Chain A
Amino acid sequence: MTDLLYLILRILAAAALIGLFFLWVRMSLDWFCRKEKDYLLEGIYSNRYLWLVIAVILGIATSFIYYFLVVRKKKITISRNLEYGVYSVVTVYFVLIGVWFAGKALDYYPMRADLTENKVYSLSGQTKNVIKELKTDVKATAFVRKLGSEAKYIEYMLTEMGRYSKRFKFEIIDIDIDPAKWQKYMIGEANTVVFEAGETPSDASAGPQNENIGPAARSAAYKRKDVKQQDIFQSDDPYNPQKIEPKGEQAFINAVYSLTEDKQRIVYFSEGHRELSIGQGDRNGLTELAKYLKTENYYIKTVKIATEGMVPEDCDLLIVAGPLNPFFDKEAEAVKNYLKNGGKAFFMLNPDLPCGLEKTLEYWNIKLEKGVVLDKRAFFQPILPIPSYKIHPITSPLDKDQVPLILPYSRGISDLKAKLDPRVVSRDDLLMTSESGWAAAEIKNGEKPVFKEGRDVKGPLALAVAVSEFVKADPKKTPASAESKETQFVVVGSSFFISNQWLTRSKGNLDFFINAANWMLKQENKISIRPAADDMKRLEITPTRTNIMFLVVVVLVPLAIVGSGIFVWFKRRSK
């Protein structure tokens, strides 16, 4: 058995040696092939250099000890006391080195399994994409009180983010231990994370971006964004604001966007046709959607095209969310001109209502079908179809993870199939009903809807399409060097799918909308599935069940233990 333990010790020692060897190789490669040398020459990033030195020293020490005490074990003659002492120290040394090395190695090659149902403790695909593709260095400094659970969560999330890119660095500062730094950054409250990019100004008290605090803030390359505690821990449920959940991932990634993106995209919601409103907080409003768009670092505005006479020039994406009244011809013309000029738009249209944009859409061969779509594959009722995904950058992440999407009260979209030569228009279906879906021309209350040949349109029907067309710049108007533009728009035959009611109910709806917006705005690294929330599961408790639990857990089990103790005691006494 002693031999076995020695064997384990030898294996551990050998593993530590091999591990250290790989660490040298890796660090040396970093040193010679990559930017470490430049970093060092610039006088920054010395931490890694320090690790290299420590690794080399530890490695040499380990090799010596290994050689003398393990390989040539029998040949050394030292006093027994010393030998035992040395062996004990060596064991401790190997174990500590092993623990340290395992931690380091697992940073590079993580061996982790997130067993939670929603994968709460894994970063979402979106976050990983953004972090992996960082092109500038981003530094996060968290000012926390280390004993709080908030601090642990913040540290956990930042550590996770740091795993995916060397460009992302973070530091945790306990404000009770280092209050000077806290004051230097001029932060008012604990649990604030400061994200910085670019060259740090000599005066770090620059204050957050967009806030006019110090002259140093205007240093061109330097950007700073503060994420406060209320952004990290917030309520997701508009009906239950007391339910606070950690949302750090979303808040942090938003800060990273705002630092790394060259400009903030402006999203316009059309107004004046009784569309769903971003200011409306009830079940049919879009306040939730607006909240998420802000998290994705979009700037939100509204526009009345009738009064403006055109789509504003700074519009990056026009959103038409379920107009109940049709657009005027002039407005439709303005939208068409905007699109022809390389515009981006998101149309969400209600069934059986003229939207006034039919002619505009026909220009790209889009025909809006009459009738309300009914489908057997649906969320309880046929009027709430759950469409299947067609392959497209917008939908493939959703398809991969089988995230369901509900399109309530929707209309079909089909292809006019007119020739558009010489224009090159690509048109992709995104969402389809099943074979058993159809568009019903009329639905009578209380009657079970059935498909009627001739009156209804048979499925499968497309419920959402994505269109893109490359528009050559007009050589007369613009210089020859001007780049050609790409018109992109998405038409969805439903508008309520983005309302507060459905957005909070079905996660796929939000992902679909944001992915489509990101696709049109060429933010492909953002197309993914958004971070999950940890849903706290509850027991289904009745008074009887409470009593049973009390009886067993608090009374019976301890009593049984005490009882068996008394029994054994009596039995032994009577012997």
Chain B
Amino acid sequence: MNSIWSIAKRELRNYFVSPIAYIILTVFFVICGLFGYIEYMAKFQYAQLVPIMGLMTNIFMFLSPMLTMRLLSEEKKQGTLELLYTSPLTITGIVLGKYLGALLFFGLLFLISLEFPIFLMLYGKPDVPVMLASMLGFILFGGTLIAMGLFSSSLAETQIVSAVIGFALVLIFWVMEFFSSAVSGSVGNWLATLSLSKHLESFNKGVLDGGDIFFFLAMSFMFIFLAIRRLEWKRW
């Protein structure tokens, strides 16, 4: 457990000593701030977090591969993964530590994004439970995207390739609902159940559905597990 925590801390530190953390955070908050402020807070004056949350999920979808591309690819490229293998750390520990590190960074991003709900609470009477539901949706969504990115980072040795794979993976699961509409009947319905956007929808409506929570947790679990398998496979 301690080893996971120390890897997580190292990862979080890595983010902030390189420019990547600042670039991601700045891009994220400039776009969210501008659009959120102009479109929703000043123009329509919604006392609702949902439209801003929609904006945040869309932008995070584009930024998450950049956040995760480094995690395992860099270690592979620099050959430091071999060092880690020979250390007393288990592969599971390494992967979980890296996942936790990226998750902590996402947590920081989420904390800063609380500026929106705070303003809504100050200047209006938003539906607080709906707001909390959409926040929970955003957190689960972020966790899943990071797991996907982690897995794609375990596949490639160059960061840019893993970013592209990660983005493709996220995009496929995001537009799965669109694919499903092209296939009619039961298969189409089943494809729709794998869609990220579909499962996020009800959170943003203020409806908590056990199936949606299960979906995001199961997806995160699957991709973390696949990343571990991939590294174990590569080890031999």
Q: Do A and B come from one complex?
A: yes
- When distances are taken between beta carbons in the complex, the residues of chain B under 8 Å from A78 are none
| Residue contact A1 to B92, C-beta cutoff 8 Å | yes
Q: Is the interface of B mostly helix, strand, loop or mixed?
A: helix
Distance in Å from the Cβ of A192 to the closest Cβ of chain B?
Answer: 17
A83 to B21 alpha-carbon distance, docked (Å)? 38
A1-B96, A536-B46, A557-B115 are known; give 20 further A-B pairs, CB within 8 A: A1-B4, A1-B90, A47-B185, A50-B186, A80-B233, A85-B233, A91-B222, A91-B226, A98-B214, A100-B190, A102-B215, A115-B127, A116-B205, A537-B124, A539-B124, A549-B37, A553-B115, A561-B22, A561-B25, A562-B26
| Residue contact B37 to A554, C-beta cutoff 8 Å | yes
- When distances are taken between beta carbons in the complex, the residues of chain A under 8 Å from B193 are 99-100, 103
The 6 closest A-B pairs by CB, nearest first: A565-B22, A111-B210, A115-B129, A539-B124, A95-B222, A537-B47
Distance in Å from the Cβ of B165 to the closest Cβ of chain A?
Answer: 16
Distance in Å from the Cβ of A299 to the closest Cβ of chain B?
Answer: 36
A-B contact pairs, 16 of them (CB 8 A): A1-B90, A1-B93, A1-B96, A2-B91, A9-B225, A54-B186, A80-B233, A81-B233, A91-B226, A92-B222, A102-B211, A103-B193, A116-B127, A541-B42, A553-B36, A561-B29
Partner of A558, one of B30, B92, B207: B30
Closest to B23 in A: A565
A117 to B131 alpha-carbon distance, docked (Å)? 11
A565 to B178 alpha-carbon distance, docked (Å)? 39
| Residue contact A549 to B42, C-beta cutoff 8 Å | yes
- When distances are taken between beta carbons in the complex, the residues of chain B under 8 Å from A477 are none
Partner of A557, one of B16, B17, B33, B219: B33
Question: Chain A, 107-141, contact with B by CB distance < 8 Å: what is the 0/1 string?
Answer: 00011111111001100000000000000000000
| Residue contact A558 to B211, C-beta cutoff 8 Å | no
- When distances are taken between beta carbons in the complex, the residues of chain A under 8 Å from B208 are 112-113, 115
| Residue contact A115 to B133, C-beta cutoff 8 Å | yes
Partner of A554, one of B34, B133, B230: B34
- When distances are taken between beta carbons in the complex, the residues of chain B under 8 Å from A538 are 45-47, 124
Closest to B197 in A: A152
- When distances are taken between beta carbons in the complex, the residues of chain A under 8 Å from B41 are 539, 549, 553
Residue total for A at the interface (Cβ-Cβ under 8 A): 65
Partner of A539, one of B120, B185, B233: B120
A88 to B30 alpha-carbon distance, docked (Å)? 40
Closest to B180 in A: A146
Q: Which of B156-192 contact A (CB under 8 A)?
A: 178, 181-182, 184-186, 190
Distance in Å from the Cβ of A435 to the closest Cβ of chain B?
Answer: 34
| Residue contact A553 to B46, C-beta cutoff 8 Å | no
| Residue contact B47 to A539, C-beta cutoff 8 Å | yes
| Residue contact A99 to B45, C-beta cutoff 8 Å | no
| Residue contact A558 to B130, C-beta cutoff 8 Å | no
Closest to A550 in B: B37
| Residue contact B33 to A568, C-beta cutoff 8 Å | no
Q: Which of A543-561 contact B (CB under 8 A)?
A: 545-546, 549-550, 552-554, 557-558, 561
Question: Chain B, 99-137, contact with A by CB distance < 8 Å: what is the 0/1 string?
Answer: 000000000000010011001100111110110110000
- When distances are taken between beta carbons in the complex, the residues of chain B under 8 Å from A380 are none
| Residue contact A87 to B123, C-beta cutoff 8 Å | no
Q: Which of A70-110 contact B (CB under 8 A)?
A: 80-81, 84-85, 87-88, 91-92, 95-96, 98-100, 102-103, 106, 110
Q: Is the interface of A mostly helix, strand, loop or mixed?
A: helix
A553 to B36 alpha-carbon distance, docked (Å)? 9
| Residue contact B214 to A99, C-beta cutoff 8 Å | yes
- When distances are taken between beta carbons in the complex, the residues of chain B under 8 Å from A558 are 26, 29-30, 33
Closest to A92 in B: B222
Residue B194 at the chain A interface, CB threshold 8 Å: yes
Residue A424 at the chain B interface, CB threshold 8 Å: no
B interface residue numbers (CB < 8 A to A): 4, 16-17, 19, 21-23, 25-26, 29-30, 33-34, 36-37, 41-42, 45-48, 90-93, 96, 112, 115-116, 119-120, 123-127, 129-130, 132-133, 178, 181-182, 184-186, 190, 193-194, 201-202, 205-211, 214-215, 218-219, 221-222, 224-226, 228-230, 232-233, 236
- When distances are taken between beta carbons in the complex, the residues of chain B under 8 Å from A4 are 92
Residue A61 at the chain B interface, CB threshold 8 Å: no
Assuming A84-B232, A561-B22, is B181 touching A174 (CB within 8 A)? yes
Assuming A84-B233, A106-B211, A539-B47, is B218 touching A95 (CB within 8 A)? yes
- When distances are taken between beta carbons in the complex, the residues of chain A under 8 Å from B133 are 115
A51 to B230 alpha-carbon distance, docked (Å)? 34
Interface centre among A96, A102, A115, A568 (most CB of B within 10 A): A115
| Residue contact A5 to B92, C-beta cutoff 8 Å | yes
- When distances are taken between beta carbons in the complex, the residues of chain B under 8 Å from A51 are 186
| Residue contact B228 to A114, C-beta cutoff 8 Å | no
Distance in Å from the Cβ of A113 to the closest Cβ of chain B?
Answer: 4
| Residue contact A47 to B48, C-beta cutoff 8 Å | no
A114 to B219 alpha-carbon distance, docked (Å)? 24
Interface centre among A5, A80, A103 (most CB of B within 10 A): A103
Partner of A115, one of B22, B132, B233: B132
Closest to A2 in B: B92
A289 to B196 alpha-carbon distance, docked (Å)? 43
Distance in Å from the Cβ of B176 to the closest Cβ of chain A?
Answer: 11
A96 to B209 alpha-carbon distance, docked (Å)? 18
Q: Which of A1-27 contact B (CB under 8 A)?
A: 1-2, 4-5, 8-9, 12
A147 to B91 alpha-carbon distance, docked (Å)? 43
A8 to B92 alpha-carbon distance, docked (Å)? 13
Closest to A118 in B: B127
Residue A177 at the chain B interface, CB threshold 8 Å: yes
Closest to B40 in A: A539
Residue A572 at the chain B interface, CB threshold 8 Å: yes
| Residue contact A116 to B130, C-beta cutoff 8 Å | yes
Question: Chain A, 174-186, contact with B by CB distance < 8 Å: what is the 0/1 string?
Answer: 1001100000000
Assuming A2-B92, A178-B184, is B207 touching A92 (CB within 8 A)? no
A106 to B201 alpha-carbon distance, docked (Å)? 16
| Residue contact B119 to A553, C-beta cutoff 8 Å | yes
| Residue contact A114 to B206, C-beta cutoff 8 Å | yes
A549 to B117 alpha-carbon distance, docked (Å)? 12
A4 to B1 alpha-carbon distance, docked (Å)? 12
